[in-house]
Structure 1
């Protein structure tokens, strides 16, 4: 497995994987007309724009095997001074292989090194139970719930997970850890 930083040349492959992941994970959560309609072009435009504007303050890691993209993670600083895991996707045929865990932990390590003292957050759609269990197993703490507008007539609920900058239970530099 080759893990490397993503580039603009990866945009279309990332968009295709992003769309495949959504179609698999959100089949019962989002309308089929959306998943098999505008979402593919939305993702293509999104990733062409994002990869063209990558900066050292962002991280896009891709995992490839035999020339095919199997997973990616994208992190960026957020306006609230956290680091946002904006996307973490594994090809539906590769879910459960450890790729998501590997890329998430590499992303968390990058965030701590690049933005020390900042929490890392991500959002997941309510009902995406497999992802929810995964994020909780990886130490994410449920910190918020809110509606998310994906399209003018499409609103779904999302759950926010946080990996705190300081370990939970830490009482200070000289205090005991709980």
Structure 2
């Protein structure tokens, strides 16, 4: 992403998005607090270590809209555990539904992670950002059977 976007409007856009999601109970995309699900990982001192956010879609799929791990904790297995907790939630709350996500194609670390976790590339497209630029993104999908299998792997 352009530096001017990362250092400028991105922070404001994300602050508004999360304020809407967490305080106002929804978003411009039509999600509601009741339908969406936020998973938060915290350490013993209750510092956030990572999070995942899932949104059931009208097309019958579940969008994993965010999966983030604190930079110093990447490679510790936290992303793996968050992903499996997300699958466990999807299996319990929305059984039989596939889970998908969209990731920037140039985010090599993330695309490698999702591939290792069994995600299958199901679409490629250009994402247009409000600041006026476009970037290539890949959609990764886990079938309902994959979601259920990986949720079963979710230990304590």
- Indicate the TM-score class for this superposition, using the shorter chain for normalisation: 0.7 to 0.9
Write out per-residue CA displacement over residues 77-103 of structure 1, whole angstroms, 9 at most, x where no aligned residue: 012110000000111121111111111
2:50 is aligned, of 71, 75, 81, to 71
Determine the structure 2 residue equivalent to 1:8.
none
Measure the CA separation in 2 of the matches of 1:110 and 1:122. 15
Query: Which structure 2 segments of 5+ residues have no match?
Result: 26-31, 147-156
Q: 1:57: Cα distance to partner?
A: 2.6
Instruction: With the length of structure 1 as denominator, give the TM-score of the two structures.
Output: 0.74
Mapping for residues 1-178 of structure 1, pairs under 5 Å: 30-52=1-23, 53=25, 55-65=33-43, 66-167=45-146
Q: Is the 8 A contact 2:103 2:139 kept in 1?
A: yes
Q: 2:139 is paired with a residue of what secondary structure?
A: strand
Tell which structure's C-alpha radius of gyration is larger.
1
Q: Is the 8 A contact 1:143 1:160 kept in 2?
A: yes
Q: Is the 8 A contact 1:149 1:155 kept in 2?
A: yes
Q: Is the 8 A contact 1:83 1:118 kept in 2?
A: yes
Query: Which structure 1 segments of 5+ residues have no match?
Result: 1-29, 168-178
Measure the CA separation in 2 of the matches of 1:59 and 1:106. 11
Instruction: With the length of structure 2 as denominator, give the TM-score of the two structures.
Output: 0.83
Q: 1:152: Cα distance to partner?
A: 4.2
Q: Is the 8 A contact 2:62 2:100 kept in 1?
A: yes
Q: Is the 8 A contact 1:75 1:83 kept in 2?
A: yes
Q: Is the 8 A contact 2:39 2:53 kept in 1?
A: yes
Number of residue equivalences: 138
Q: Is the 8 A contact 1:57 1:114 kept in 2?
A: no
Q: Is the 8 A contact 1:135 1:161 kept in 2?
A: yes
Q: 2:35 is paired with a residue of what secondary structure?
A: coil
